[in-house]
Amino acid sequence: MNLPLRFAVRYLFAKKSHNVINIISATSAVGMAVGTAALIIIMSVYNGFDGLVRDSLGNVEPDLLVTPAEGKVFVPDSSAFDWAYRQDEVFNMCNVLEENVFLNYDGRSGIVKAKGVDRVYEEESPLKDHLRDGKFTLHKGDVPLAVVGAKLAYTMNISPRFVAPIEIYFPARDRRISLSNPASSLEMVKVFPSGVFSVNAEVDGSLMIVPIETMRELLDYNEEVSAVEIRISLQAGTAGLSKIKRGLAERLGPGFRVRDRFEQNTALYKMMSYEKAAIFLILVFVIFIIAFSIFGSLSMLIIEKQGDIQTLRSMGATSRLINRIFIIEGWLISVLGLVAGLVIGIGFVLLQNHFGFIKMPGGFMSTAYPVILHWPDILLASAAVLAVGFIMAFVPVKTGIRRLS
C-alpha cells in the first residue's frame, strides 16, 4: 500500500475531534450508495420495459420488411425472394396486403387496419401465443375468418362466440363516389370472428388479421401484396439478419426498401434511447448533488488536520503528496458508497428478476415489474459515480491546501 493511500485510509477511519465530520462522511457514503443503487435499479427497470416493448413489437412486426420504394403494392415475383427462401437463416416468409378499412359489426363501426396474410402467417404467427379468446384460424372451409385485437373486440363488442359477420368496406377503385348513394361506391366483404389476441394497447385497438384472398377481393387485386415479411431464425442472430438484409437489398435494387425492426420504428426506438439517456443524466445529477457532502466533510477535515499537514511538510512532503492523501480519502468515500450501492442495486434486480415480488398494477403486459441487468450500464454507472466522487474530492482539496500554504 503506497504512502498516500495509507494516510487516506487512516484519516478516513480514525476518530475525528469533531464528531460531525464522521457523521458527514458516513452520510456521504450512504448517500452515494443509495444514489448508485437507484441508478442501477431504475436503469434495469427501464431496460425491462424496453425489452417488453421490443418483444411486443416482435409479435406483430417481422425481422425484415420488404416494401416498394414507390407506390403501395407490388407483385412478389422477383428471384430475390426465391434466394431468400432458400437461405438457412430464414425461418419463414409471408405475403401481406394491408390497408385501412371501414368496419361495421352489429351496428358499431370504425376505421381499423386490416392485414391480409397468407397460410404461412396463419400457421406460424407469433400471435398464436397471445390469444385471449377463440382460435388463431383464418379459414373454415371456404368461409373467411378474422382474428382481432382485444381492445378492438371490446370497443365493437366482437366475440368468436357470436355468429354475426364483420362487414369490411373500402372504396372501389373503378367507381366514382355517388353522393346520392355512397354505399354503391364501396366494395364490401364479410368475415367471421374466430379469435381475439392481446399484444399492446396500440395494436389491440387497431389491428385485424384476415386472409390475404379476402383483402385482394376487397381491394380488387390479383397477386399484388403491400409487403413481404421475413422472420429470421433465432440461431442466425444479428449476423444472419444482416446477411439476408444485405443480400435482398442488392438483388432487389433501388425499387424496394428492406427494413429491419429498428428501421420500421425509427422514431420509437430513438425516443426510447433518448429517454434512457435523459434518465441516466438526471440520476447522475442527483448523485452529484448528494456528493456535495463530500466537499463539506473534506473541507472540515483539512482544517482539522492543519497540524498534520505542517508536520508532513516539515518532513519534506510535497504539496502534491499532501493533495493526493486528501483526494484519495474523499474518493474512498465514493468508492465505499459505490460498492455498497452496486451490491444493493444488483442484488435487488436479481431478486426481482427471480421472484418478481413487486407487481405491476393491473398486470397489463407483465405481472411483475420487468428488470434486465445490462453490464455496460453497470460500468457506465460506476464510471459516473467515480468521476463525480473524484471531482468532489479534488476541488476542496486543491482550494483548501492552497489556503494553508
Q: Which of 7-16, 226-235, 250-259, 263-272 has the lowest mean pLDDT?
A: 7-16
Crossing angle between the packed helical segments 375-404 and 319-355, to the nearest 10 degrees: 150
Stated as kind and residue range, the H or E segment containing 33 is: helix 19-58
For the chain, give the mean pLDDT: 84
- Structure confidence at residue 232 as a pLDDT band (50, 70, 90): very high
pLDDT at 58 over 90: no
Distance CA 43, CA 375 (A): 11
pLDDT tens, 320-330?
777 777 777 77
pLDDT on residue 17 = 46
pLDDT at 336 over 50: yes
Burial class of residue 289 in the structure, from the number of CB atoms within 10 Å of its CB (0-12 exposed, 13-18 middle, 19+ buried): exposed
Q: Span 97-113, mean pLDDT?
A: 91
pLDDT tens, 114-158?
999 999 998 988 888 888 899 999 998 889 999 999 999 999 999
Report in angstroms the alpha-carbon separations of 220 from 170, 185, 215.
10, 13, 8
Report in angstroms the alpha-carbon separations of 67 from 21, 80, 85, 178.
67, 13, 17, 33
Report in angstroms the alpha-carbon separations of 311 from 8, 61, 299, 330.
16, 72, 19, 21
pLDDT tens, 271-298?
888 888 898 999 889 888 888 777 777 7
Pairing of strands 207-211, 143-149: antiparallel
Q: Which of 122-136, 176-190, 385-399 has the lowest mean pLDDT?
A: 176-190
Question: Is residue 393 a contact partner of residue 334, using CB atoms and an 8 Å limit?
Answer: yes
pLDDT at 3 over 60: no
Question: Is residue 369 a contact partner of residue 352, using CB atoms and an 8 Å limit?
Answer: yes
Using a cut of 0.85, tell me whether the model's pTM lies above it: no
Phi, psi angles (nearest 5°) of residue 235: -65, -30
User: What is the percent of the chain where pLDDT is above 90?
Assistant: 42
